[in-house]
Amino acid sequence: MLFNSLDYLLFLLLVVGVYWALLRYRALRFAIIFLASCVFYMAWNPAYIILIFFSICVDYIAGRAIFTAGSPRVKKNWLIASVACNLGLLGTFKYFNFFCSATNDIFSLFGFDIPVPYLDVLLPVGISFYTFQSLSYTIDIYRGRLEPTRNFVKFSIFITFFPQLVAGPIVRAVQFLPQLTGPPRLNKEKVGEGLFLIATGLFKKVAIADFLAVNLVDRVFDDPTGYSSLEVLIALYCYTMQMYCDFSGYTDVARGSAMFFGLELPENFNRPYQSTNPAEFWRRWHITLSSWLRDYLYYPLGGSRVKPARAYWNLWFTVFIVGLWHGASWNFVLYGILHASAMAAHRYFYRRAGRTRETVDPTALRISKTAAMFHFTVLSRILFRSTDLPNAVDVGGQLLSGSAFLFHIAPSIWTVLILSYVSHYLPRSWYEQSKRLFVRSPAPLQGIALSGLAILLAAVASRQVVPYIYFQF
């Protein structure tokens, strides 16, 4: 059930209507959200709802056991059990085949042909997201930052809440569970903001991401040798924007949908291509994943409060895990190494120059650093988008071929590409002003604006289904 489908919009309206009709009956409201979330997830593969139920039961029990444990050792054992169960599921379904294949490759180098087992299963949608979300619950209880909830359905809603279940943002229990306490609140401003976010997210997905994917990106990566060096570069610019609009568009729809239930989800993107360095990029891109790994991996490893060599390792390893989190393939191993090394190098030169976050660069220098960081991101996307390493080599080789014709770039692609980047580099305050203007507008004007957008999206929508990129993670 894709966000950019009529099915989802009808589903959302139905669930929201029933939810508010049961305003006075908290238990029924919770039951409706939980059941709706299960139906939403089972639309992809009904069998995998069992995995979510398993994670829910494990962490609900572990959370209460950690909180009531009489000794630090018992608390730690329950935490280890929670981490082992969650990462065990994630590792089995997402990484087992890759590690088996890598093991076979290593043995083959030495002339050994050892049969290794493989799992013939589909990757459960959203497993990387809800696993990290569930883990944050037990870890925060262990750290004394959260008390476990007694309400099993309430905890289940935290794990399965359908707007952000399959592609984030990654929500923490300390942010979400308190919002389920007391009656939900909704006003005209929140309805307007929710509508604005959904409209923005659908526009990003349908009018920009899907359009660029179908009309250029997919074609170039399917057959890179059929395009010139310059056309491959343009396709990489297109994919870089496609990826941002696809993922941030999903987050916008998720946050807007949650507002109709009186709930707030965290922001996940902050114009990442305006970044001047790798550290700033990862503070702006997939914010909830970056902050999760910072708090639950980087800091526990010692962060920067250790010897310099260990501090660089902690930083490198954390960013490497960010890359590997995205997928189980050599592409993402190299992607993680590339970004981790860039982050470590930036830290080294940043500190060697004696700079701080308060240091302000001249405008010309900031523009050049932004351009350099952007193109580093663009080139690294070759690894992200390619189906495998040979495909990445083909794309990279064609990029360096030196041919410069532009026969395959239609005017419509230029229009969408240029307008999308112009809007990305506009001041954030312009976006906020547009949102406030929409929210404050009378309902009839909002309806006219949304109707006009619906007509536009229907006109430009691709006939083929383009799944959200992050559904594969």
What pLDDT shows up at residue 361? 78
What pLDDT shows up at residue 103? 78
Residues of the chain with pLDDT > 90: what percent?
72
101-110, 323-332, 391-400 — most confident range: 391-400
pLDDT at 327 over 90: no
pLDDT at 406 over 90: no
pLDDT at 107 over 80: no
The band of 274, judged by pLDDT with boundaries at 50, 70 and 90, is very high
Q: Where are the domains positioned within the chain?
A: 6-184, 189-276+361-472
pLDDT at 290 over 90: yes
What pLDDT shows up at residue 15? 96
Tens-place pLDDT, residues 59-97: 999 999 999 998 999 999 999 999 999 999 998 888 888
Which of 281-290, 343-352, 366-375, 390-399 has the least mean pLDDT?
343-352
| 405 vs 114, higher pLDDT | 405
What pLDDT shows up at residue 298? 95
The band of 130, judged by pLDDT with boundaries at 50, 70 and 90, is very high
Concerning whether 375 is annotated as a catalytic residue, the answer is no
Tens-place pLDDT, residues 441-459: 999 999 999 999 999 998 8
The whole-number average pLDDT for the span 375-395 is 95
| 99 vs 10, higher pLDDT | 10
The whole-number average pLDDT for the span 263-286 is 94
pLDDT at 3 over 90: no
pLDDT at 118 over 80: no
pLDDT at 234 over 90: yes
What pLDDT shows up at residue 257? 96
Tens-place pLDDT, residues 413-436: 999 999 999 999 999 999 999 999
What pLDDT shows up at residue 106? 76
Residue of 326, 346, 375, 424 marked catalytic: 326
What pLDDT shows up at residue 357? 66
What pLDDT shows up at residue 411? 94
Which of 117-121, 289-293, 314-318 has the least mean pLDDT?
117-121
pLDDT at 24 over 80: yes
What pLDDT shows up at residue 358? 62
The band of 50, judged by pLDDT with boundaries at 50, 70 and 90, is very high
What pLDDT shows up at residue 356? 67
- The answer, yes or no, to whether the previous bond of 169 is cis (omega within 30 of 0) is yes
